[in-house]
Amino acid sequence: MLHTVNKSPYETNSLSSCLRLARKGHTILLFENGIYGALKGTCFENVVTDALNKYQICVLMPDIEARGMRVDNVITGIKTVDYAEFVDLVASNSTVQAWL
């Protein structure tokens, strides 16, 4: 199952609810303002790093780059994807849930 999170973890509770309710082995894609949850050096880094033990976490690079970040800023273990790979993630998971 694929979960998408498009909200900043600072602004809303979407990521936190997603991390609480998704099941082990699920995949989470961070995109739009959701990419702020994928960054090193923030107050969310530990929570998200821990979540990597339970979930596969991906982040959309075009959204990372638009916001002035680069691959180097992404927490180790998070997979960077482009729109084509976003499509692949949807295709390879039987259901998609958006945490708006």
Distances (CA, A) of 13 to 4, 6, 16, 56, 71: 13, 11, 5, 20, 25
Residue 3 bridge partners (DSSP): 28, 97
Interface with a copy of itself in residues 1-30 (CB under 8 A) = 10-13
Which is closer to a copy of itself, CB of 8 or CB of 80?
A: 8
Residue 4 identity: T
- x-or-dash pattern for other proteins, window 12-51, by CB under 8 A? -xx--x--xxxx--x----xxx--x--xxxxx-x------
* Nearest C-alpha neighbor of 99 from the set 26, 33, 4, 23: 4
Q: How far is the CB of 90 from a copy of itself (least distance, A)?
A: 26
A 10 A CB-CB count for 18 gives 24
Site residues, other proteins (CB under 8 A): 1, 4, 6-8, 10-11, 13-14, 17, 20-23, 26, 31-33, 36, 39-43, 45, 62-63, 65-70, 82-84, 86-88, 90-91, 94-100
